[in-house]
Structure 1
């Protein structure tokens, strides 16, 4: 089955509505991407699923979030984590004063299956061999790309059922972005892992996804398969950068107005 958001509204501080009737589905074993500009509500969608709303006084006020028909709406984040939903936060939040090895083991802190932990540790090294050279390095001294590898590796140590990644490409060089998404795609294929990916880098994300959604102003305005998104004229124009030569001069000035006119008007 999988994870479903059904007509979800979300409000911060009781007055600021951020999500509006959001419907999306993340089937088991698929990679689903959520695209959108800054402030569209993408990170809030992840936090609604993982339960990380309380610090910001956020609450789902309508609709339901279902994991295999179990209602996890406004659930406790520890309970949701224990059910296998693991979120990698944006901003490369490693535990800076711990070593790479210690960071990895933090990911397995709820597990008691020592043989399985060792097995998953080797899987992390298989996908991110660079980490084997950095085990004793203090995490705060890693490069941005190395930190992102560590964060995904740490999440894998929890043996997630659904891995949620928030802007993993942020601040990385293009060659590192390409390599990172290739590894994410390989993990999904090899492990059968369900991945929900929030991204602004549409080129990298759509190339690896099975299905995608586009969010604007807290609403889902478009969705489709990888091929449908890649061939959609609005996605090509607003996210993949394909526009006619005659439109190039004024594209930056008018694209936001035109997007809202097409999708919301």
Structure 2
């Protein structure tokens, strides 16, 4: 069944509306990417799914968020986690004073099947062969790339049904970004794991996804398959750095009113 957002509005502090009638579908076993500029509402969308809005005085004020047939809008974060929704937050939030091994094992803290936990730990090592060498290291002293491997590995230790990744490539060297997305693609294909990905690196994200959405001003303004996104002129210009029949331009160089006019027709 997967995840479905239907006409979701999110308001902060009872005043500021950030999401406006957002409709997103993440089918079981698929990888879906959510694109958009800073402030478009992407992270708010993820927080609405994970139940983390309350920390910022946010609330889903309209619509439904369904996960495997259950409405989780404004739900308890622990209850949502126990349903199998696990989010890797933006900003590489490792437990800095614990070792790499302790971080990984904490990911499985709500699981009781030790044999399955051990099996999943071996799978994490398979996806990230660098981690076994880092087990005794204090997590706060890892490089950015090593931290991101650890965070995704820790999330996998929770045996998620839906893995949510918020800007996993931020601050990483291009070669590491390519390697990271290859691993995320393998996890999706080999484990059949459903993945929702928010990412600024549109080229790398679209290459791995099955379907994608573009968000602007809290609204979904475009959606389509990988092939449709790659061939869409607006996506090429604003997110892939290409222009059709004119000089190459950057998304930030396009006036906001012109961008919205093109998105919304």
1:27-38 alignment to 2 at 5 Å? 27-38=27-38
Q: CA offsets, 1:113-141, max 9 Å, x none?
A: 00000000000000001001000000000
Report the counterpart of residue 111 of structure 1 in structure 2.
Answer: 111
- Separation (CA, whole Å) in 1 of partners of 2:264 and 2:211: 21
Report the counterpart of residue 147 of structure 1 in structure 2.
Answer: 147
Q: Displacement of 1:255 after TM fit?
A: 5.2
Q: Displacement of 1:243 after TM fit?
A: 1.1
Does structure 2 conserve the Cα–Cα contact (< 8 Å) formed by 1:31 and 1:211?
A: yes
Report the counterpart of residue 50 of structure 1 in structure 2.
Answer: 50
Which sits farther off after the overlay, 56-65 or 243-252? 243-252
Report the counterpart of residue 217 of structure 2 in structure 1.
Answer: 217
Does structure 2 conserve the Cα–Cα contact (< 8 Å) formed by 1:238 and 1:255?
A: no
- Separation (CA, whole Å) in 1 of partners of 2:165 and 2:249: 35
Q: Displacement of 1:252 after TM fit?
A: 5.1
Q: Displacement of 1:250 after TM fit?
A: 8.9
- Separation (CA, whole Å) in 1 of partners of 2:251 and 2:164: 32
SS of residue matched to 1:38: coil
Q: Displacement of 1:246 after TM fit?
A: 3.3
- Separation (CA, whole Å) in 1 of partners of 2:182 and 2:219: 29
In structure 2, do the counterparts of structure 1 residues 99 and 250 end up closer, same or farther at CA, with 3 Å as the change threshold? closer
Report the counterpart of residue 94 of structure 2 in structure 1.
Answer: 94
Question: Any stretches of 5+ residues in structure 1 without a counterpart?
Answer: none
Report the counterpart of residue 122 of structure 1 in structure 2.
Answer: 122
1:196-215 alignment to 2 at 5 Å? 196-215=196-215
SS of residue matched to 1:163: strand
In structure 2, do the counterparts of structure 1 residues 255 and 180 end up closer, same or farther at CA, with 3 Å as the change threshold? farther
Q: Displacement of 1:259 after TM fit?
A: 1.6
SS of residue matched to 1:129: coil
Q: Displacement of 1:261 after TM fit?
A: 1.4
In structure 2, do the counterparts of structure 1 residues 244 and 229 end up closer, same or farther at CA, with 3 Å as the change threshold? closer
- Separation (CA, whole Å) in 2 of partners of 1:43 and 1:104: 24
- Separation (CA, whole Å) in 2 of partners of 1:253 and 1:75: 39
In structure 2, do the counterparts of structure 1 residues 139 and 7 end up closer, same or farther at CA, with 3 Å as the change threshold? same
1:49-198 alignment to 2 at 5 Å? 49-198=49-198
Give the TM-score, by structure 1 length: 0.97
Give the TM-score, by structure 2 length: 0.97
